[in-house]
Amino acid sequence: MTKQTTSEAAEQQRADASANAWNSTALGHDPSGQETVAKDAGAKEPAGAGAGAQGKSKNKGKKFVSPLGNPTISLPLLGKGRLGRHLLYSRLLLGLGIVLFLLGVAQGMWHSQRAGALYGTSSDATELTRRLGMVSSLALSGEASALQDAVNSAQSLADQISAMGGSRVANKYAFFPAIAQRGEQIRASAQLLQDGRPVLRARDTAFNSMVKLSTGTQGVLLPIARSERTLPRERELAQQLMLALQAISGTAHDVQDTDVLDEGNFALLGNSLEMAESYAQQLRASTGNAQLGNILQTLNYQLQDSQTALQSLQEALPAVNSARDSLRKLYHQSNAVLQPLEIIKNSLAAEVGWQWWQIALILLGGALTALGGWTMALAYIRAGRRRLLDAARVHEATLLSEQDAKRLNDANQAAILRLMNELLLVAEGDLTQEATVTEDITGAIADSVNYTIEELRHLVQNVHQSADKVTKTTLSVDATSTELLAASTEQLREIRETGRAVLEMAQRINTISGNAQDSAQVAMQSRNAAESGLRAVQDSITGMNAIRAQIQESSKRIKRLGESSQEISEIIELISDITEQTNVLALNAAIQAASAGEAGRGFSIVAEEVQRLAERSADATRKIAELVHAIQSDTQDAVAAMERSTQGVVEGAMLADRAGTQLTAIDEVSRQLSIKVEEISSAALQEAALANQVTENIQHILAVTEQTSDGTRSTAQQVRALAHTAQELLQSIARFKIQ
């Protein structure tokens, strides 16, 4: 199989060499890209070949080398010469023709585009001039919607004239400066019209509404003015109103067509509007028709609006006349530039299209291009025929070269097979073998192979020694890593126990800190309670003093009440005596009346009544005496009770005063206790913070220790993997034989 592969490789190499020789000879070039000559062995060069087919090319260094060589050929119009010279002339003709053709096309397109643009500009300017004259005429006749069109058309026309002034039109036509001046005047008038457009619109709107006043009411007023059944007064007012409205319409129409307004126009219209308004009000007041009244009311509103609009126009009279004058100037200026623009447009229309010299330039370029292409094609055809003859001679030389190459390839193939057979043992791992060095093509290869085998033998030996050292070192490092891992594990366990202990201590310190803070809060609450109690006792003392004063005042009043009741008792005794005397007198009067007989009956009745009243008065006096006695008794009891209450209040005030003194002492003790508890709480907080910091440090040490343990474990695993890799390396190089 190896011999077959070698044979196929040699055959492929021989075929490639033959192909390269054929290509180099057939194309007239050596392998370096220079032109060569195909010669037969002992054959003479034809007479027509000349010096161009001998030796190396004299045209070395030129940018272009024809694949057909550079033979001498004869062409019409160019005569006899080298192929390169004919191709150069043909390319010059072809390039010149293309340049002239493109130049003619570009000139024609540029000229047509430029002339077309100028013609379009002049055509647009002409159309804008006509449109400006039309819309200006409409605006002058009162068409308010045409004002904006007039402004836009005038501005566009001025822009078009300015654009034409920047082209060759300004130099070609002697009258164009006058057109340009008109364009600037049109622009200025358009700006004035734009500024006065609101007042012109108001003017046209006001006059149009006045013109339409008579037509809107004629259908209603005419039947009234002609009817015989209408009251004479109403018929007369309707006729006068119709005449006034017709006068307003006619005057407004005449004034609307006036270019310059004056105060007389406004005075005449104002008087007509006032008369029409007066007639409308009188007719509305005299008529009984509700529909007619509504129409007259609407007419009255319209007349008032017209008067307001007329007054506004009168105030803006200079602006109205100025805007109207600008509109009239636009109309005349558009008519003035129309004919010159028509002349420019017609003149530019004749220039649109291609000129004769541009067409001639294109035709000349096409002819030169065709001539150059024809001569180039003819040169290639005749050079190709010449090369066919040279190719036949090259083929014969190639056959001889192939025979020599075959003999050389056979010898090389035998040497290669011998070298490959010697290298088979080396490929199987026997590095003690060496290739045979000969004088043929494989000699240098065999020498290089022997050097490579020697270096490979030393390399395998060094790898074997290094693998042994790595295996021993990894075993030692593995043992050390195992011990270090055990120590790290023990250290990690101790650090964890220490961390748990410190964490428990920190928790207890935090608990103490929390209790201290609670104690501080309790002490603060106790202090606040003592202060509140002290204030309450002080308030109680103040209240008791007030109560004592009130009780003393009440006792005084009750004593005065007892004295007053004593006086009442004395008065009651006096009344009782008077009642008894009255009773005795009544009894005596009754006795006297009884003794008087029938004459004293009436007096007897009076005496009985007086006696009953005296008895009732005696009973009432007795009851009052009992009540007064009870009041005196209660008053004495109340005075005694108040004296006891006063004594109790005094004793309570003394007790409250002593309680206030004790609460003051309690407040001072609570304040000192609160300060001490706050100091304890602050110290506990500091200790808790230190304990927490120690806990965090231990946690960090624990994390670092765990990382160290993991690194040690990973190192041990990597060392074991390295030892395994060294064993595999020893196994992989074991098949090489170096001794």
CA atoms of 116 and 167, how far apart (whole Å): 13
**146-165 and 83-140 helices cross at what angle (nearest 10)?**
150
157-171, 362-376, 713-727: which range is least confident on average? 157-171
Please report, for the chain, how many H helices and E strands are present, in that order. 13, 2
Give the DSSP per-residue string, 98-157: HHHHHHHHHHHHHHHHHHHHHHHHHHHHHHHHHHHHHHHHHHHTT-TTHHHHHHHHHHHH
Q: In this predicted structure, what is the pLDDT of residue 322?
A: 67
Are 491 and 705 a contacting pair, CB within 8 Å? yes
CA atoms of 243 and 302, how far apart (whole Å): 17
Structure tokens at 232: 């004479």
Q: In this predicted structure, what is the pLDDT of residue 709?
A: 76
Q: Where are the domains of the chain?
A: 115-352, 499-720
- At 429, the amino acid letter reads G
Q: In this predicted structure, what is the pLDDT of residue 407?
A: 74
For the cut 50, the answer to whether the pLDDT of residue 49 exceeds it is no
| pLDDT band of 218, cuts 50, 70, 90 | low
Q: In this predicted structure, what is the pLDDT of residue 142?
A: 65
| pLDDT band of 599, cuts 50, 70, 90 | low
Q: What is the mean pLDDT of residues 60-87?
A: 62
CA atoms of 583 and 607, how far apart (whole Å): 9
For the cut 80, the answer to whether the pLDDT of residue 18 exceeds it is no
Which of 22, 300, 337, 356 is CA-nearest to residue 183?
337
The number of C-alpha atoms within 13 Å of 494 and in the hemisphere containing its C-beta is 6
Q: In this predicted structure, what is the pLDDT of residue 655?
A: 76
Q: What digits encode the pLDDT tens for the residues 252-296? A: 766 666 666 666 666 777 777 778 777 777 877 777 777 777 777
CA atoms of 518 and 696, how far apart (whole Å): 26
For the cut 80, the answer to whether the pLDDT of residue 411 exceeds it is no
| pLDDT band of 169, cuts 50, 70, 90 | low
Which of 331, 338, 334, 332 is CA-nearest to residue 122?
338
- Evaluated on CA atoms 363, 369, 370, 372, the torsion sign reads positive
CA atoms of 471 and 728, how far apart (whole Å): 11
Q: What digits encode the pLDDT tens for the residues 196-214? A: 667 667 676 766 777 776 6
Q: In this predicted structure, what is the pLDDT of residue 679?
A: 79
The secondary structure of residue 600, as a DSSP letter, is G
Largest Cα span, the chain: 222
Are 705 and 495 a contacting pair, CB within 8 Å? yes
For the cut 80, the answer to whether the pLDDT of residue 716 exceeds it is no
Share the mean pLDDT of the chain. Answer: 71
For the cut 80, the answer to whether the pLDDT of residue 734 exceeds it is no
For the cut 60, the answer to whether the pLDDT of residue 9 exceeds it is no
| pLDDT band of 705, cuts 50, 70, 90 | confident
| pLDDT band of 355, cuts 50, 70, 90 | low
Q: What is the mean pLDDT of residues 140-146?
A: 68
Residues 6+ apart with CB under 8 A from 108: 354, 355, 358, 359, 362
Q: In this predicted structure, what is the pLDDT of residue 316?
A: 61
Structure tokens at 694: 């120690």
Q: Which CATH superfamily is domain 499-720 in?
A: Methyl-accepting chemotaxis protein (1.10.287.950)
| pLDDT band of 490, cuts 50, 70, 90 | confident
Q: In this predicted structure, what is the pLDDT of residue 619?
A: 80
Q: In this predicted structure, what is the pLDDT of residue 440?
A: 67
CA atoms of 169 and 155, how far apart (whole Å): 20
Structure tokens at 647: 């004594």
For the cut 70, the answer to whether the pLDDT of residue 603 exceeds it is no
What does the CA dihedral 444, 449, 455, 460 come to, rounded to 10 degrees?
A: 180
5-14, 224-233, 557-566, 729-738: which range is least confident on average? 5-14
Burial of 149 (0-12, 13-18, 19+ CB in 10 A): middle
Q: How many residues does the chain have?
A: 739
- At 653, the amino acid letter reads A
Q: What digits encode the pLDDT tens for the residues 528-540? A: 777 777 777 777 7
Are 617 and 575 a contacting pair, CB within 8 Å? yes
Are 479 and 703 a contacting pair, CB within 8 Å? no
Structure tokens at 455: 């270096």
Q: In this predicted structure, what is the pLDDT of residue 118?
A: 63
**317-351 and 176-211 helices cross at what angle (nearest 10)?**
140
Q: In this predicted structure, what is the pLDDT of residue 175?
A: 65
**290-315 and 317-351 helices cross at what angle (nearest 10)?**
80
Give the DSSP per-residue string, 535-566: HHHHHHHHHHHHHHHHHHHHHHHHHHHHHHHH
Residue scoring higher pLDDT (594 or 556): 556
